[in-house]
Every structure is written in C-alpha cells, then in structure tokens.
Structure 1
Amino acid sequence: MKQKRNSLYIFSITLVAAIGGLLFGYDTAVISGAEASIRLYFIDSLGLGSLAHGATISSALIGCIIGGFLSGYFASKFGRKNSLMVAAILFIVSALGASYPEFLFFTKGEPTISLLLAFNVYRIIGGIGVGLASAICPMYIGEIAPADIRGRLVSFNQFMIIFGMLVVYFVNWGIANGQTLEWINDVGWRYMFASGAIPALLFGMLLLFVPETPRYLVIQNQDDKALAILTKINNSPSEAKSILSEIKKTINMNVSSEKLFAYGKLVIVVGVLLSVFQQFVGINVALYYAPHIFESMGAAKDASMLQAIVMGLVNVIFTVVAIVTVDRWGRKPLLITGSVGMAIGMFGVAGLAFSNIIGISTLIFIIIYTASFMMSWGPICWVLISEIFPNKIRGQAVAIAVAAQWAANYLISSTYPMMMEYSGGLTYGFYGLMSVLSAVFVWKLVPETKGKTLEEMETAWGKSA
C-alpha cells in the first residue's frame, strides 16, 4: 500500500495543519525578543517586582491552559478543522492587540496597571489559540496519517513549532538589528508582536482547502465523506473501506466508551504525566528566556539574540533527527535517551552555576540539554498524546493532557525568575532531577506505539482496563 499511497496529498494536509504548530512556536517565543522592552515599559515604570515580571512574560500560558481545556469540547462539537480556524482568528487578534494594547482605551507612552492588564488579556487570547492548536494540530495529523508514518508526520508538527520559534528569533533580531535601544523599547517590540498576524492569516486561508478527519466524520455519521477522504489518502478503495470498517468498529464498539475512564485510569495518567514531565524538565525556561540567559552569561543584547538563533538552529536540526528516527527506533528508546541527555546538560549547567563559572562551557551544556529534548520529548510527547488515547475519548483525553501540560508550563515559567533569585544552581539542578525521573516514568509506564494503528492502541488499553 505504500506504493499506492497519495503521498503528496498527505504531506500537503500535514503541512497546512502544522502551520498551527508554527504559530504555536511563534506566539510563545515572540516574547523572548520583547522581554526586556516589556519589562522596562510596564514592570519597571510601574515599580513592580519579579512576580509581576514572571506573570506578564508567562501570561499567554494562562490562555494556553484555557485553550487546552476547551480543545476537547471544540474538537468534538465543531470538528478538528473548524477548531483550527478559531485558533487562527485568535492568533490574529492577539498579535495585533499585543502590539498596540493602547487601542481605543489608552494613551500610548503612558503605562498604567490597566494597560498592563489589557496587554496580558491580548496575550491570553493568543494563548487560547495556542492551547487549541497544540491539542488539535497533532490530533488532526494523527487521525489523517497512515499508521506506519504517523510518528513522522506528527513529529513534523513539532518541527514546525521549533521552526516557528527560529523564525521569530530571526524576525526579532531583524527588527532590532541596527536600531537604537530607545527605538526598540518604544516601537520595536510592537513590530515583533504584530509580525505574528502574517502567518496566522496564511494559516486561516489555507485551512479552507483541507478536509475534516475521517475519524471525526465517522463519529458524526458521515461515513461517505470519511470514505472519500480515506480513498484519496490511500489511493485504494478497498484499503479505504478496510480502514473505515476498523474505525466504525471501535467507535460503535461500546457506548460506555464515551466515558473518560472507560479504558481505565492508567491511559489518562500516562497522558497527563507525559505532558507534565515535558514541562518540568524546564525546556520552556530555555526557550522563553534564551536572550536573557545569554545576557546573564555576559553577552551583549545583539549577541544574546544571535546566540538564541544558534539555539534555534540546534533545535531544528535535532527535531529532524526525531522525525527521521521515530518510526524506526520507536518512541520509548528516543524518550529515555533524551532524558539522559537532558539530565547531563542540566546538571552540567547547575554545577557551573554553583561554581560561578559563566562562559562557553555553559552554552555547550545548554546545547546538549536542548538538543536532547528536541530529539525526544519535544516531538515524541506530542506523537504519543495524539495516538495513545482511544477514538471515543480522544477529544476529552487530549484536552486534559494538553491543559495539564500548559498548567505545568505556566508553573515552571512563571516561577523561574524567583527561583533564579534564590539559587541558579538549585534551579537547574531541579530540572536535571526531573529529567532523571522522566526516564524512569517512560521505562515503567509508557507503552510502545510504533507501527500500531489508532484502533490497535484502543484494543491494547481495553485489555489493560
């Protein structure tokens, strides 16, 4: 069937859906270039402290938690495709609103607590879009993709997340390059946020040309449409009918399967812990605060942004490693290998921090850490979340796992400034410890899903329930 498969069609659909991943990365990382200006414009001018600083930098994550919780309802009620359209609209509103929060109600250049709240509201709106996209993009790709290449295609969504971060690092650097610090603090940060409206508009337009997923259509009793899409994907009517029969069997197998714990609690616990560990290892601290970390290592403002770009390139390269290997080596070996690498990187940074050694050695350990994450937990966590849950509960279960992920993300990101004020060595040591625990968790509890259809995964959990 591999020879008959309509590869161009599959890749085109995946590429469009994965633009949601690009926006996910773009929206969450755009704050890295604007962080110092936001701190000066809002936090310092209003006499606020590190708690307000951390909360403002991480405010989009509140929206991500909301969007994660809502994703199950949206995906089930309105479909995967329409939910992504909603996310695109939210991205556009957030990009424009965050770039000019004074719109209608406030005066430019006169920061107030109310203006700070307005800025955070726009960031939260974008976060809701990110929360929806982070859950529904891999769900959409996972439900479209053939089993033997599903890991690769869902991992491509993570590639686009990282690519979005790399793009925004270049955009931020391009906006700031050659400009005075005064101009960046007055106007430049606004351009950084506004730039996100361009890919968001492109995403919304391209979504008009992709289909709904066959599995959602079967749930909606639209078997003819589902069969047509499966036929186009597989270039084989007989193969399409066989897949449709499998989908219908699992969806109609048991009415009680609509209940969240119909397949036991373990599958939900595994999904939630995958999400929590992905954040507790501290990756988004490295991503959100990248320029700030490099500045604290002694780099100038422009140099810190260039070093963040180098980090972005490392992220892209090692995400490609995951895409190439995930369907060959399997999910568990990659996750455990990545956990070991992350532990080495973070314990290395912690040791240097305790010794007050700042320099190229710190950068090397950070690269070891992020490279290990990008070839493992970055993409593979999303792959597993898209495929371990049975069809009937996928919308609800993915929503819970993703909401837990964003809640953990918010906790780690918003507490980072305060933790660093207390002890940099202990902060990075904590992330190293979480990396070790993540390896143990995968070894003991996470099932291998390589090569299995979504319907076969359902049978596996059904046996263990």
Structure 2
Amino acid sequence: MSQAQTQGSNSFILTITLVATLGGLLFGYDTAVINGAIEALKVFFVTPLESDHALALQVIGEYKIIISLCFVVVSLLVSSFMFRMYGKKKGMIYSGIVIVAGIIIWYTQFWVSVNEISENTLNSINGFTISSAIIGCIIGGSIGGYVSQNIGRKRGLVLAAVLFIISAIGSAMPEIMNVFGAGTITSFIFYRIIGGMGVGIASMLSPMYIAEIAPANIRGKLVSWNQFAIIFGMLVVYFVNYIIASSGDDGWLNEIGWRYMFASETIPATIFLVLLYFVPETPRFLIMKSREEEAKTLLNKIVGSEKAPGLLVDIKESLKENNAPWLTFGGLIIVIGILLSVFQQFVGINVVLYYASEIFRNMGSDTDTSLLQTILVGAINLIFTVLAIYTVDRFGRKPLMMIGGIGMGICMFALGFAFYFNQLGLVALFAMLGYVAFFAMSWGPVTWVLLSEIFPNSIRSAMSMAVAAQWIANMIVSWTFPMMNDNSWLTNQFNHGFTYWLYGAMGLLSALFVWKVVPETKGKTLEEMGRLWKK
C-alpha cells in the first residue's frame, strides 16, 4: 500500500469514525442535559405534590403504573436473554424464575409500599423522574443486538437519531406533546424513556460500528474516541445549561429555562441524522447479508487491496456460526461482559455526572457557581479521556483499568470523609476531580473498548446483554443516590459521606476483578478473539 493510499485510507476511516462518534456525543448530551435541570424539575414536578393532595394521589397512581410496566418490560427482556443463552427448554425454566422473582420484588418492595405521601415516596418520584431515561436505555441496549443483526449498524444509528429528536421535543413540551391524557410528569417521563431508547441503541451500536470498521492496530484508539465524544457532548451541554440558566432568575429557570435545555438536543441530533446518510455499513454486516462485493470494496479502502482478501476470508469463516447461542464460547465471556458493565456504573460515575451540580450545592455553592464547577468536571473528564485514547493501544487495556479502579476508590473514600467531617473546601473538590480523572483515563473509554472487542462475530449480539446490564446498574445507582443522599437518618449519621464510601469500595473491587479475570485484548483482531475464547 503506497503512502498516498495509506493516508487516504486513514482519512476515510477517521471521517466515518467521527460521524459514528456523534452517536456517542448524543449519548453524553442526553444523559447530562438533566444535570442543569435537576432542581428545576423538582420544583416544577415534585414540590407541588406536597401541597396538592389530589394531584399527589394522581401522580402516585400513575407512578405505580409506570414502574409496574417497566418491571414487565425489563423482566421480558431478561427472559429473552435466557432463551438466547440456554435454548428453549432451559430458557423457559430460567425465564420463569426471573419473572417470579421480579413479581415478588415488585409487589413486596414497591406496589404495597408506595401508597402514601411521605419523604421517601417523594424522593423516589423525584429520583425516578430524573433517571427515567435509563429505563429507555435498558430497553434500547437490550434490543440493540436485534437491531444490529436485522436492520444493520448504520440504520440502527439512524433509528437512534430519530428517537433523540422525538425525545428532545417531547421533554421540552410535555403538556403539548401529552398524547395519553395523563399527568404532565407522566408525559415528561414517557419522552425521557423514548430518548433513553435512543441512548441505549447508540451506546451499543456506535462502538460496535467503529470496532468493525477500524484496523486492529488502532481499534482501541478509535473506539476510545466514542468515549471522547460522550464526554464532549456532556461538556457542551454543561455550557449550554449554564448559558440558559444565566438568562433569567430561578423562577424563570424553574418554569421555562429547563425546557430550552431539553429542546437544545434537536440541533446535534439533526446533524447526526443528516451525516449518517453519507457513511457506509460495516463490512461484517455486509458479509452477514451476503453483500460480499460491497464488503470487499469497503475493506480495500480500510486495510488496502493486499490485506483485504485475507481479512474477507477470516470474517466469512467467523460468521459461519452467525447468530450462534450466546454460550457457544462458554459462560465466562458473558460474565466478564456483564461485570465490566456493572462495575463501570457501581463505581458511581453517573452520580457525579447527573448530580454534580447538586453535590456542589451540598458543598455550599449557589446555582450559578455549581454549574460552573460542573463545567470544570466536564473539562477534566475530557482531558483525561484524551490521555486514555493515546495510551490504550500502547499500554494495553488491563493496566489502565486497574490503575483507574484503585485511583477512583481512594478518591471516593476521600470525598466521603470530606463530607463526614464537613471539610467541603479544596479537599472535596480535588477528590471529586481526581475521581473523574481516574475514571476518564480508564473505566470510561476502556470498558467500551473491551465490550466491543471481547465478543466474537458469531455472538456479537450478546453485547446487548452487557449493555442492558450496564443500564440496569446505571438505573440502580442513579435512582438510589437521592434516596440515600436525602435520607434523614443516613444524613444525620454520616453527613452525606456513606454513599461515596460505598462507591469507593466498588472502585477497589473493580480493579481486583480486572486483575484476576479479564483477558488483555490489545492488538488482536476481532476474529482472533473468537479463537482465544475457543481455547
């Protein structure tokens, strides 16, 4: 391959990678847009329930119905995973166990307990309103495998862009877009769930698309750009939120301003939708659909005419067992994928990203100052993500993940003690920024690199199980944080420090898990990973 051809190939790969990473940008934008609106949403949706008994009873009734439907959907999705792993007979048994366990948990822990207007009920409604998009993320992540296998990686991203646009408009105008005649808060939650479905699909398909396009020697770097785009999207929306919040007083923000925050998502979502028209489908999906000539032409552009024929043969060989049972390569790969996803969330990152402004307010900052400090969090996140991009293919995946886990654990324990001893000055600020830095250089981007690499071609759709597990873990963390952080007893005992100690312990456990269980994938082709697991 001549130097000119190499430069042309690199430019082509970089261009389509940048378009695919816009899915990551919207992922970050959508998940962080809530940050600037947390207090406004509480004032607009939840605070009126304290004084309006009839409205509170209506909202509690609708809330119980929404949660019940979510339990049903998640149970069905988990059951579908059981069929994919164990086949029809065993899948039926394990699905039954999952559904029965779900019904027991739903009835005893939720249905009979949420019947009166109390501090815990209002905190629960507030937490669910803020984190409701994650229900959609669970759904989107769960069906991501089906979408990628049937309509393709590219069209799946198109679907995600459309869902982003619908969600942005509906979330900004829940009264006008209320198609069910339910309460305004229910309409808002519905459109946040729609947006979450887009996030869930994009969170799986963007790194998958990049991994299937990228040559093995730079795949880690290119997939890490997806995480950079996620963080960049968050940083952009932090600025957008700050500008909007600065445009009026708190009364205006609580009534009108938060709507502009959600509506602003239509701009990047529309740009993403238009640019997707100009990118190709991945060679692996083209071969899967017997479009071999298109795949060959594309591989020539990506790796050159000398390497393309050999890679084409490898891909065809790996796809002979397309849509194979997920346990074809044993259960360890599934366990690793799920635990990578769960640990990425249980270390508490989305508490920092969703509730950063709230945490800074607990430190004593006013609204404008807390939003400025949130921008600082986004900037640190971005800078250290770039560090990961330039080291993940040089040092490998495991060293970064272990260093990050230990660093996050130490910083979270320090932040917890800062709250406990009420020393909320520079020590707390540096502990939070240090935590974000360690996450950004390790578990943020590298988890997605590993998830896009460890699943062989014949069970690539199993990645959807790991992505769904990630969003379920995200939901648990995001929903329970305000319940723990605002709990009167825990606050009196630990002064907001307890939750951060919990996340610190998870950071240390995550490092141990990577050290003992996770294989190194640096420099291996996706086809070589299949041979590794067969051993």
TM-score range, shorter chain: over 0.9
The TM-score normalised by the length of structure 1 is 0.96
Which stretches in structure 1 are left out of the alignment for 5+ residues?
107-111
> Which piece of structure 1 moves more, 290-299 or 419-428?
419-428
Is residue 133 from structure 1 mapped to residue 202 from structure 2 by the alignment? yes
Distance in 2 (CA, whole Å) between partners of 1:135 and 1:304 is: 32
> CA 1:104–1:214 in structure 2 vs 1: closer, same or farther (change >3 Å)?
closer
Deviations 1:236-261 (A, max 9, x none): 22211111111111112x47x61110
Amino acid at match of 1:367: L
Is residue 40 from structure 1 mapped to residue 43 from structure 2 by the alignment? yes
Amino acid at match of 1:444: K
For residue 418 of structure 1, what is the aligned residue in structure 2? 483
Contact map agreement 2:348 2:477 (CA 8 A) in 1: yes
Shift of 1:178: 4.2
Contact map agreement 1:318 1:371 (CA 8 A) in 2: yes
> CA 1:296–1:2 in structure 2 vs 1: closer, same or farther (change >3 Å)?
farther
Distance in 1 (CA, whole Å) between partners of 2:508 and 2:182 is: 41
Deviations 1:64-92 (A, max 9, x none): 00000010000001000000000000000
Deviations 1:192-211 (A, max 9, x none): 00000100000000000000
Contact map agreement 2:171 2:259 (CA 8 A) in 1: yes
Is residue 219 from structure 1 mapped to residue 291 from structure 2 by the alignment? no
For residue 339 of structure 2, what is the aligned residue in structure 1? 273
Is residue 452 from structure 1 mapped to residue 524 from structure 2 by the alignment? yes
The 5-angstrom pairing of residues 425-444 of structure 1 reads: 425-444=497-516
For residue 318 of structure 2, what is the aligned residue in structure 1? 250
For residue 30 of structure 2, what is the aligned residue in structure 1? 27
Contact map agreement 1:46 1:113 (CA 8 A) in 2: no
Contact map agreement 2:177 2:187 (CA 8 A) in 1: no
Distance in 1 (CA, whole Å) between partners of 2:216 and 2:14 is: 14
Shift of 1:356: 2.0
For residue 534 of structure 2, what is the aligned residue in structure 1? 462
Amino acid at match of 1:402: V
Distance in 2 (CA, whole Å) between partners of 1:343 and 1:2 is: 48
Which of 163, 169, 178 is the matching residue for 1:96?
169
Is residue 16 from structure 1 mapped to residue 89 from structure 2 by the alignment? no
Distance in 2 (CA, whole Å) between partners of 1:425 and 1:30 is: 26
The 5-angstrom pairing of residues 190-205 of structure 1 reads: 190-205=259-274
Question: What is the percentage of aligned positions where both structures have the same residue?
Answer: 54
For residue 362 of structure 2, what is the aligned residue in structure 1? 296
Distance in 1 (CA, whole Å) between partners of 2:512 and 2:266 is: 41
> CA 1:104–1:240 in structure 2 vs 1: closer, same or farther (change >3 Å)?
closer
Contact map agreement 2:164 2:195 (CA 8 A) in 1: yes
Contact map agreement 2:131 2:478 (CA 8 A) in 1: yes
> Which piece of structure 1 moves more, 363-372 or 45-54?
45-54
Larger RCO (CA within 8 A; separation ≥ 6)? 1
> Which piece of structure 1 moves more, 43-52 or 401-410?
43-52
The 5-angstrom pairing of residues 130-209 of structure 1 reads: 130-209=199-278
Amino acid at match of 2:306: S
Distance in 2 (CA, whole Å) between partners of 1:203 and 1:352 is: 42
Contact map agreement 2:283 2:295 (CA 8 A) in 1: yes
Is residue 336 from structure 1 mapped to residue 402 from structure 2 by the alignment? yes
Distance in 2 (CA, whole Å) between partners of 1:180 and 1:283 is: 30
Size of the aligned set, in residue pairs, is 454
Which of 51, 55, 59 is the matching residue for 2:124?
51
Distance in 1 (CA, whole Å) between partners of 2:187 and 2:241 is: 22
Larger radius of gyration: 2
Distance in 2 (CA, whole Å) between partners of 1:218 and 1:362 is: 53
Distance in 1 (CA, whole Å) between partners of 2:256 and 2:331 is: 51
Distance in 2 (CA, whole Å) between partners of 1:354 and 1:300 is: 21
Shift of 1:346: 0.2
Distance in 2 (CA, whole Å) between partners of 1:121 and 1:104 is: 10
For residue 109 of structure 1, what is the aligned residue in structure 2? none
Which of 276, 290, 307 is the matching residue for 2:373?
307
Is residue 70 from structure 1 mapped to residue 143 from structure 2 by the alignment? yes
Amino acid at match of 1:18: T
Q: Secondary structure at the match of 1:212?
A: coil
The 5-angstrom pairing of residues 366-377 of structure 1 reads: 366-377=432-443
RMSD value, Cα: 1.4
Shift of 1:104: 5.1
Deviations 1:148-193 (A, max 9, x none): 0000000000000000000000000011114211111111100000
The TM-score normalised by the length of structure 2 is 0.83
Distance in 2 (CA, whole Å) between partners of 1:461 and 1:342 is: 30
> CA 1:67–1:362 in structure 2 vs 1: closer, same or farther (change >3 Å)?
same
Contact map agreement 2:30 2:195 (CA 8 A) in 1: yes
Amino acid at match of 1:238: E
Shift of 1:353: 1.8
Amino acid at match of 2:219: R
Distance in 1 (CA, whole Å) between partners of 2:38 and 2:437 is: 24
> CA 1:105–1:271 in structure 2 vs 1: closer, same or farther (change >3 Å)?
closer
Distance in 1 (CA, whole Å) between partners of 2:348 and 2:528 is: 33
Distance in 2 (CA, whole Å) between partners of 1:104 and 1:190 is: 13
Deviations 1:5-30 (A, max 9, x none): 31110000000000000000000000
Which of 463, 467, 471 is the matching residue for 1:398?
463
Distance in 2 (CA, whole Å) between partners of 1:410 and 1:374 is: 20
Amino acid at match of 2:526: L
Which stretches in structure 2 are left out of the alignment for 5+ residues?
51-120
Contact map agreement 2:137 2:196 (CA 8 A) in 1: yes
Distance in 1 (CA, whole Å) between partners of 2:183 and 2:2 is: 58
Distance in 1 (CA, whole Å) between partners of 2:479 and 2:500 is: 15
Any runs of at least 4 consecutive aligned residues in structure 1 with deviations exceeding 4 A, and if so which? 1-4
Amino acid at match of 2:242: W
> CA 1:105–1:137 in structure 2 vs 1: closer, same or farther (change >3 Å)?
closer
Q: Secondary structure at the match of 1:8?
A: helix
For residue 120 of structure 1, what is the aligned residue in structure 2? 189
Contact map agreement 2:341 2:467 (CA 8 A) in 1: yes
Q: Secondary structure at the match of 2:278?
A: coil
